[in-house]
Amino acid sequence: MRFVSAEDIDKFVSPRDLVEALRDGFAQGCEAPLRSHFNMERSNEDDATFLIMPAWQKDGAAGVKVAAVVPGNSARNLPAVSGTYILLDAVTGQPSAVIDGTKLTTRRTAAASALAADYLARKDTTDMVMVGSGAMAPQLIRAHASVRPIKNVTIWNRNGDKANKLAGEIAELGFNATGTDDLEGACKAADLISCATLSTEPLVRGDWLRDGTHVDLVGAFKPTMRETDDAVMKKCRIYVDSFEGASAEGGDVVQAIDSGAIAKSDIIGDLFGLTRGEVKGRESDGECTVFKSVGHSLEDFAAAVAVVKAVGK
């Protein structure tokens, strides 16, 4: 059985590699039941979430991710999401690889956002705002830059020191990166706004979006969470990673539907439809688009297969 570390994933698999692996994965499909999602109560901090996400292909490999989302880890200087992925042999069902699930999760989540942006963001997107500076932020920046010519990155976080620290790290990768405490001003000048937070209150507002903006929403994976207000959802053409997951768990979508700001029928398409050419992506440079992801076990499965293949070469 192969053990694949976080360092192996970063060494052997580029951001664009995973975008293409997910493109093929969504186009081909697999068996992927809706993930099991359990609340774990905590006494002196926000509750944690326990996730189990299986997937398999007929006559092919199978896999499962076991993960925990612990908001309190921010104070411990640890990633909010941690986990392990187990890939099973296609013929025998025996474990063939155990993969660092924390790194796999951040990398595949970023790849899903970049895959959506490849259909939804303007081709000339150069200015990106990153809302949040946790473990997801650098992965999202690199992934989006693999599909669009991102040059300028502005980073906002409630903790300004963390935003500035990440900006310094991103600048070393060749981007013009700065931290800011003016989220409104940054959003008003952005081509692409990517949010990866555990916020329960809107951070980005609809009247901040200029024509042609694409909004990428990665946090708010529970109905009680959200990163945008209703005006964002009303202003944008809405896409999701999967209809089933986002309409049940994605706080930005769920709360906008509950308030009457949008209807389920306003969700134009998901990554299955986009990759298969069944729905259209961006149709003009002036329209605003939004992509809401909550995670899908197909993403982990497709990424795991691609990672093990790349590491084994």
DSSP-derived letter for residue 294 is: -
Does pLDDT of 165 surpass 90?
A: yes
Does pLDDT of 275 surpass 90?
A: yes
Residue written as token pair 């935003």: 163
Phi, psi angle pair for 278, to nearest 5°: -85, -20
Does pLDDT of 313 surpass 80?
A: no
pLDDT at 220 (0 to 100)? 86
Longest Cα separation, the chain: 56
Is pTM beyond 0.95 here? no
pLDDT at 107 (0 to 100)? 96
Mean pLDDT value across the chain: 94
The DSSP annotation for 190-248 comes to -SEEEE----SS--B-GGGPPTT-EEEE-S--STT--SB-HHHHHHSEEEES-HHHHHH
